[in-house]
């Protein structure tokens, strides 16, 4: 039984790798930009990055890559057999099997793949804000919105392994086009990319005049500009962050109605602005949730593992499935 495992969290912009002990201590970490080219076939470019991260850990710590437990968290629809069926925000990896790719490239034999939101949920359940909570939903606000559902202490994976794709729940009929091909998906309104899209729309409509002037045009206003301006007290930016908070609450209210969950853990890159989003989102949630006053209190908290949730959860997957 391995005493350490590698957790690989692949997102739309970066691949984060951690070397983790069985008690959840991070022993080493690496960050690499995620490639978006299709050279060599589905997932080949990304697999090269992951293989380099794994071999770097092995060299630094005297580990055998052929037996090292490795967990891979990937965005999108990960089948139970470990193949990535479809990744809307990283389509160059759609169809890839990273256990096969890493076995073929570096001889790794103990590689296990899971959806990145599911990994984040498992990481929080083991070592973070979901520890001791047997029923909660993990919501990752990154390039898109990922999710993981813990029910009665177990991960809900669904029939094919695709459970927890909450970012593609429609929240606006005939709304904004999503990378998945649908319209009005939650992630188009409450993710990092959702914030960027709304920022451009507001700036184009003249609703962010100060930021637009500072950045030299609507096309240059980024989501990060909005969060920084809101933190500095800019009323226009605060209004936009409240709009994103409303959309966040809209999705949470839907999940409460469907799952009767009472605990949400909010992670992902945009959760860095949780101090701006969550207070308003909690207030909106009370207005939007069916039978809110008849339910026990609903808890909405930021991730306890922050940017490491997905990678730590991927390592947890490796520990559990290797055993």
Mean predicted lDDT score pLDDT of the chain: 96
What pLDDT digit, counting tens, does each position of 255-290 carry?
Answer: 999 999 999 999 999 999 999 999 999 999 999 999
Residue 323: what pLDDT? Answer: 67
What pLDDT digit, counting tens, does each position of 88-115 carry?
Answer: 989 999 999 999 999 999 999 999 999 9
What pLDDT digit, counting tens, does each position of 235-248 carry?
Answer: 999 999 999 999 99
What pLDDT digit, counting tens, does each position of 30-81 carry?
Answer: 999 999 888 889 999 999 999 999 999 999 999 999 999 999 999 999 999 8
Residue 89: what pLDDT? Answer: 87
Q: Name residues whose C-beta falls within 8 Å of residue 206's C-beta, 6 or more positions apart in sequence.
A: 212
State the average pLDDT over residues 14-30.
97
Residue 30: what pLDDT? Answer: 98
Q: Can you tell me the distance from the alpha carbon of 270 to that of 276, in angstroms, rounded to the nearest whole number?
A: 10
> CB burial class (10 A; 0-12, 13-18, 19+) of residue 189?
buried
Residue 26: what pLDDT? Answer: 98
State the average pLDDT over residues 300-310.
97
Residue 12: what pLDDT? Answer: 84
Residue 82: what pLDDT? Answer: 87
pLDDT at 1 over 90: no
What pLDDT digit, counting tens, does each position of 163-181 carry?
Answer: 999 999 999 999 999 999 9
> Which domains, ranges and CATH numbers included, belong to the chain?
4-121+308-322 (3.30.420.40), 133-303 (3.30.420.40)
Q: Can you tell me the distance from the alpha carbon of 289 to that of 254, in angstroms, rounded to the nearest whole number?
A: 7
């Amino acid at each position: 039984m391995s005493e350490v495992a590698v957790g690989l969290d692949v997102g739309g912009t970066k691949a984060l790798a951690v070397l983790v002990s069985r008690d959840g201590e991070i022993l080493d970490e690496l960050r690499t930009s995620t490639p978006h080219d299709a050279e060599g076939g589905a997932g080949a470019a990304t697999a090269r990055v992951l293989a380099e991260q794994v071999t770097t850990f092995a060299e630094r710590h005297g580990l055998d890559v052929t037996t090292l437990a490795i967990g891979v968290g990937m965005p999108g629809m990960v089948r139970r057999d470990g193949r990535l069926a479809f990744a809307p925000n990283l389509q160059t990896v759609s169809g890839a099997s990273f256990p096969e790719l890493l076995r073929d490239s570096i001889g790794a034999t103990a590689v296990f793949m899971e959806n990145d939101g599911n990994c984040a949920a498992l990481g929080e359940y083991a070592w973070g804000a979901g520890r001791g909570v047997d029923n909660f939903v993990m919501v990752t606000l990154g390039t898109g919105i990922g999710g993981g559902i813990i029910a009665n202490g177990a991960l809900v994976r669904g029939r094919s392994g695709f459970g927890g794709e909450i970012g593609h729940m429609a929240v606006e009929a005939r709304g904004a086009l999503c990378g998945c091909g649908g319209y009005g998906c939650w992630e188009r309104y409450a993710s990092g990319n959702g914030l960027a899209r709304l920022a451009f729309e507001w700036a184009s409509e003249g609703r962010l005049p100060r930021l637009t002037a500072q950045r030299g045009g609507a096309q240059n206003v980024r989501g990060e500009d909005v969060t920084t301006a809101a933190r500095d007290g800019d009323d226009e930016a605060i209004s936009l962050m409240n709009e994103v908070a409303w959309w966040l609450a809209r999705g949470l209210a839907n999940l409460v109605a469907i799952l009767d969950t009472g605990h949400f853990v909010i992670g992902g890159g945009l959760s860095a602005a949780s101090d701006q989003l969550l207070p308003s989102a909690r207030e909106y949630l009370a207005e939007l949730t069916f039978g809110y006053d008849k339910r026990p209190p609903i808890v909405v908290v930021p991730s306890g593992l922050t940017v490491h949730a997905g990678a730590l959860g991927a390592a947890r997957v490796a520990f559990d499935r290797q055993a």
